[in-house]
Chain A
Amino acid sequence: GEDVEQSLFLSVREGDSSVINCTYTDSSSTYLYWYKQEPGAGLQLLTYIFSNMDMKQDQRLTVLLNKKDKHLSLRIADTQTGDSAIYFCAHGAAGNKLTFGGGTRVLVKP
């Protein structure tokens, strides 16, 4: 199967760290992605990790991959109000379609 599961909602205070979790079932994926969707907008690629990596850091974003448990997480440091959005985890093999999770709605409170 190609299920990708995410928790529905995360509330965090401004300045704190956010951690968004994702689990997937397809072990053949070579890339795992995090997309951000703001209200009424399209899908913005935030970051991605190749399946042979354990961690990737990109400014405030840290992606952790546990291949054994098929678990992916996105940590946002110093969360800002502009980070309020829906975050989608997705996976795919190189060149192939993406399979998305249901999205985690992140609400940043001042």
Chain B
Amino acid sequence: EPEVTQTPSHQVTQMGQEVILRCVPISNHLYFYWYRQILGQKVEFLVSFYNNEISEKSEIFDDQFSVERPDGSNFTLKIRSTKLEDSAMYFCASRSTNTEAFFGQGTRLTVV
């Protein structure tokens, strides 16, 4: 069964460092999303991406965040200068036109 895969499963980084979280969406999907879940809190929408551009972003997705689809398979989330409060589980999701969103297993980001 096709699935969304995310790497790494756990990333530890020092405050101020840049991190790139990677996602491989399901191959025929066209819509891509990033969500995050701070420990013990609700899952929050960050950004949606379609046709090689951001279609919607939340207030959380400030200038420190960027997304990219560098090739036909990967979808990345970059945080330029990490802060302690960026520590969270980051989920990638993808969908095609007529399906629900499929979520990856998440990357746990720990900023120290």
**Which residues from chain A sit less than 8 Å from chain B, CB to CB?**
4, 31, 33, 35, 41-45, 48, 88, 90, 95-103
Q: What are 29 contact pairs spanning A and B, CB under 8 A?
A: A31-B100, A33-B100, A35-B103, A41-B106, A42-B105, A42-B106, A43-B103, A44-B103, A45-B101, A45-B102, A45-B103, A88-B42, A88-B43, A90-B43, A95-B31, A95-B97, A96-B56, A97-B45, A97-B48, A98-B33, A98-B45, A98-B101, A99-B45, A100-B35, A100-B44, A101-B42, A102-B41, A102-B42, A103-B43
**Number of residues of chain B lying within 8 A (CB) of chain A:** 21
Name the residue of chain B whose CB is nearest to the CB of A4.
B42
Least CB distance from B91 to A in Å reads: 6
Contact A43 B91 (CB under 8 A): yes
**Secondary structure dominating the interface of B:** strand
**With a CB–CB cut-off of 8 A, which chain B residues contact A31?**
100
Contact B91 A97 (CB under 8 A): no
**With a CB–CB cut-off of 8 A, which chain A residues contact B56?**
96-97
Contact A42 B44 (CB under 8 A): no
**Which residues from chain B sit less than 8 Å from chain A, CB to CB?**
31, 33, 35, 41-45, 48, 56, 58, 91, 95, 97, 100-106
Give the docked Cα–Cα distance between A101 and B42 (Å). 6
**With a CB–CB cut-off of 8 A, which chain A residues contact B100?**
31, 33, 45, 48
Known: A42-B103, A42-B106. A97 touches B33 (CB 8 A): yes
